[in-house]
Amino acid sequence: MTEKKQRPQTPWQHIKKQLHILRSRRRNLLWNDAQLPQRRRFQQMTRTFITPIIVVASVATIYLGMQATVIQVNQLRTPAPNSVPATLQEDQNASPSLVAGTKIGTPMLQSNDSVRSQPITHIAIPIIKLDSPVVEVNWDRTTDANGQSILVWQVAQYAVGHHFTSANPGQPNNIVLSGHVAGYGKVFRNLDQLHPNDQIILTSGTDQFTYIVQQQILVDEQHASPSEQIANLSYIDNTPSEMLTLITCWPPIGVNRFSQRLIIRALPQPGKH
């Protein structure tokens, strides 16, 4: 078979081909020119916003990581608190919270305590119709107005708080319970009505422990001298034998609201433990 010879292009066909090539190039140039401002705007936004955000986030991550490391190191280097000076302080809702510093001794269970019992779950004081659950409370570390590190007791809401450093029923040490006198259930609002020989019943596990009120104590706190505040601390300190201590702010109303501390001390009822 003979190959078919291509006919030579006419001048008009050649011109049409060149025009087509020129139009294609022009379309490509116009498309690139149209996309150029968008790319420039994106690049400008990246330089203005995205890059600084990435830099700040990276610096913040590094800083927080360093801070967390410092905190962990300080916690490892700081010994566990073995002392608690106690005062009571109002919060923003006019409810008391137990404040603890790190200068004076606190009721702290010793490792050689031979008597073991279950945590307290309930308290009943029939004479004042108190019937409330008991929950364990811890402390929070904070800083006072003088920049001194202090420990602030958590105060249970709608319950009586059992200081986690103090004893359980049946153990030969001080059992410290605190509660609100105003707000959050007011569990200790009638504590002033207790008198010697009144009964306080604590539930621990499946057992009940009965305590007999020995005395009601009212001490100044808000305007107390440093020596008086130190003397007040003895009420929540260790005791040589089993004792129950209830503490709250007093009075609940008036111009001297929460300026004093109402303390009830009770001993185990003989033959009940």
Distance (Å, whole) CA 57 – CA 227: 51
Whether the upstream peptide bond of residue 251 has omega within 30° of 0, thus cis, is: yes
pLDDT at 225: 87
- At residue 195, does pLDDT exceed 90? yes
Report the alpha-carbon distance of residue 95 to residue 179 in Å, rounded. 10
Q: Within a 10 A sphere around the Cβ of 171, how many other Cβ atoms? A: 19
What are 17-51's pLDDT values in tens digits? 777 777 777 667 666 666 556 666 666 666 666 77
- Name the strand (E) or helix (H) holding 37: helix 11-45
pTM, 2 dp: 0.61
Position 177 scores a pLDDT of: 95
The yes-or-no verdict on residue 246 having pLDDT over 60 is: yes
Q: Which CATH class is domain 86-268?
A: mainly beta
Q: Give residues with Cβ within 8 angstroms of 100, minimum separation 6.
A: 81, 84, 85, 86, 106, 139, 150, 151, 152, 153
Confidence grade of residue 65 (pLDDT, cut at 50, 70, 90): low
What is the mean predicted confidence (pLDDT) over 194-199?
97
The pLDDT assigned to 78 comes to 39
What are the two backbone dihedrals, phi and then psi, of residue 108, each rounded to the nearest 5 degrees?
-130, 125
The Cα 228–Cα 225 span in angstroms is: 5
Candidates 178, 104, 98; CA nearest to 134 is: 178
Query: What pLDDT, in 10s, does the model give residues 206-234?
Result: 999 999 999 999 999 888 888 888 888 88
Distance CA 97, CA 247 (A): 11
